[in-house]
A and B are shown apart, each in its own frame.
Chain A
Amino acid sequence: MAGFAREVARRVFASELRDSDLSFRENEEQYAPLYLITPTGARCNRVLVVGTLTEKDNLGDDVEYWRGRVADPTGSIFVYAGQYQPEAAQALAATEPPAFVAVVGKPSVYETEDGKRLISVRAESVRRVDADTRDRWVLETAARTLDRIEAFSEFVAAGGADGFSSGSELLKKPSASGEGADIGKALLHYTPDLERYREMVAKAADFLKGGISGTDAGAKAETAERVAPAAAADWEEVSDGEIRRLEDLGEERDFYEDEGPEGGEPIEEEEIFFAGREKASPRKRR
């Protein structure tokens, strides 16, 4: 019992998750949790993604291995569930796209042989939800992302070249060191264009505006009718973008097929779940 604290499910938009490829362990011990650091500095061992399941496929042969694509107003992300996530796999199998789903899962990064890092979510649970839940998630994720963008720009402004020159400043404030260190890692690895992520959040807010308008009183009655068609139109637009992305991910399919002698086999559990840095083929970064 002791020694275990449940990891928070972070709120990160698909588009930001897709940009993420920095994973690390806090220490070298066997059971140290793995974290994904996103460009705005979210430290994720678990995420909650609520969006539209736009497609699903069973990639497995003997054993079912399901892959779903979940889209939010900013982009989409692949979600996987296999024999080690039987409930999530079952739920994915039983859900006909398009449908709103809430996915709780672990982000996983894996690297293709040419050094391309791909991000997906290994689902712990997949559940159908309603449009209200999706909207709530978009609002919440927008707010959390803004929190991070603000913290990030403060960090850059305060730190700049000298603020942490010795590292001792960070250590003096243990409460801030976690977040500061995460932002530091994100800054170093991604050098993110914060404006781009601000625009991403603005896109999500516009999406909500499209679905919810008028006064609070009026909106209550209207929401049910207005959200559905407006949302449908937005998803159409998103799926246009998706076609391009699908092509980008052509390599991902190749990755499966070229992987090892058992070509075409689904990737093993441990491969999918944060392919370790040890496994990653060494390559030059920047």
Chain B
Amino acid sequence: MKEAVEQILARLRDQKVEVPADEVESRLRLLVEKFGVPEAEASRSVVNYFLKEHGISPAPFAARKSERVKVGEVNGPDRWIDLEAKVVELWEATSSAISQTGLIGDETGTIKFVKWTKSDLPELELGKSYLFKNVVTDEFQGRWSVKLNRTSGIEELASEVKASEAPVGGGVQEMKISQISEPARWIDLRAKVVQLWEPASETISQTGLIGDDSGVIKFVKWTKSELSDLVEGESYLFKNVVTDEFDGRFSVKLNRTSKIEPLEVEVEVSPQEASFSGAIVDVQKGSGLIKRCPICRRMLTKGVCGEHGKQEGTYDLRIKAVLDDGLRVQEVLINRERTEGLVGISMEEAKTMAMEALDHEVVKGVIEERLLGRYYAVSGPTVDRYILVETISPVSPVAAREVADLAARIKEAV
């Protein structure tokens, strides 16, 4: 407690704010002892409280004491730490706010890092070892990462740090898709290409879904991997691919060290069934009357296919929507047949509407009018983050039974 008080006073002094130590201590004690606030959080709160009292808006603080730890010891967010680690992987940054991201590791494990553009830190090189000073741990969906920001420092180390999980070779295990349970594992898979999607970026040569008899998983084949193209419906042995995780969902990445071997025997794919019930909170772009590339079935944007250029295109009707039950969101894809039934307009009628309005978007508008804000129950196979809707029906009106159950719960609460 004494130490925390000293730190708080030091931080306040940095901002030219003088506060009696006993005031700081009593406020900190109140938070930590009476309200059970974690000490780090409470300290921050106390600092902000006194800054506010003095009319200063809270700003990030540099004067934090960081501790030297091993990668495997990272066990909580918002810890300021020093790490000696090797850059094991560098990934494509997904945002201009990020200058570099990837994996760093030592003998105890590997951890994702994010170096913010604003940090102005020097470029890290793959395979080199560094002392990462004053980096802050973060947590997302139960996984730890470290963030390098303006107050962090990087020093290259003369001696190499041994990283536990080498990205190449050694200990690669053949797995079923459903067995994938952690990111950054190097594995072999026997799987069939279920779907190919339009890559969102030039750094990706192919992306889509592969499946085996245990499930399906998204894959990303990097352009840099220089691997030959996969064909939808064909089965392959995917060698030395690496698992990744985002938002609780796993994917596999095919990179330069990966290999693809076509299989003679077709891999059987079993789709995972799911159901969800909730309000439709969004009808997404690409819903309504769309045109598809006659060659690859991808949606055309302004008459152009990402792969095959300008195309006449064939019409299709579909809905991409988001269901939400207040706890989770679920994206759904509704095909032409079910869209027609649900919205009550045939594709021919949709075409007529679009022609009359001189705008395809008018069909999306009608779909929104009918569906947005309403409750539906859906079921069907899951594909990546979507449910491919096989059944969809409005949730039935609130029944007296449900209200009675609620009333009973209210009686018991508090």
- Measured CB to CB, the residues of A under 8 A from B are 1-3, 5-11, 27-31, 46, 48, 50, 101-104, 124-125, 127, 129, 132-133, 135-144, 146, 149-150, 153, 159-168, 170-172, 174-175, 177, 181, 184, 187-188, 194-195, 198, 201-202, 205, 208-209, 212-216, 219-220, 223, 277-278, 282-285
Contact = CB atoms under 8 A, between A and B. Distances in A.
A87 to B, nearest CB: 8
A184 B413 contact: no
B398 A282 contact: no
Q: Which 5 A-B pairs have the closest CB atoms?
A: A102-B373, A167-B38, A171-B76, A164-B36, A159-B36
Given A8-B329, A146-B413, A149-B413, A215 B400 contact: yes
12 contacts: A6-B282, A9-B279, A103-B373, A125-B368, A127-B373, A135-B397, A142-B406, A165-B32, A167-B38, A184-B41, A282-B52, A283-B52
Contacts of A165: 32-33, 36
B38 A166 contact: yes
A209 B246 CA distance: 43
Nearest to B79: A171
Nearest to B34: A161
B55 interface: yes
Interface residues of B, number: 67
A50 B149 CA distance: 42
Interface hub of B76, B372, B397 (most chain A Cβ within 10 A): B397
A162 B76 CA distance: 20
Contacts of A162: 33, 36
Contact of A10 (B38, B326, B407): B326
Interface stretch (B56-64, B170-178, B208-216, B256-264): B56-64
Given A8-B326, A125-B281, A166-B38, 9 more contacts: A3-B246, A8-B329, A142-B406, A161-B36, A167-B42, A201-B410, A209-B407, A215-B400, A219-B399
Nearest to B375: A136
A147 to B, nearest CB: 8
Interface in B355-414: 368-369, 372-375, 395, 397-403, 406-407, 409-410, 413-414
B36 A125 contact: no
B329 A6 contact: yes
Interface hub of A6, A142, A175 (most chain B Cβ within 10 A): A6
A146 B409 CA distance: 8
Contacts of B58: 277
A125 B281 CA distance: 8
Contacts of B57: 277-278, 282
B83 to A, nearest CB: 18
Nearest to B42: A167
Contact of A212 (B37, B42, B372, B398): B398
Contacts of A194: 414
Contacts of A285: 52
B96 to A, nearest CB: 10
B117 to A, nearest CB: 10
B29 to A, nearest CB: 10
A168 B369 CA distance: 49
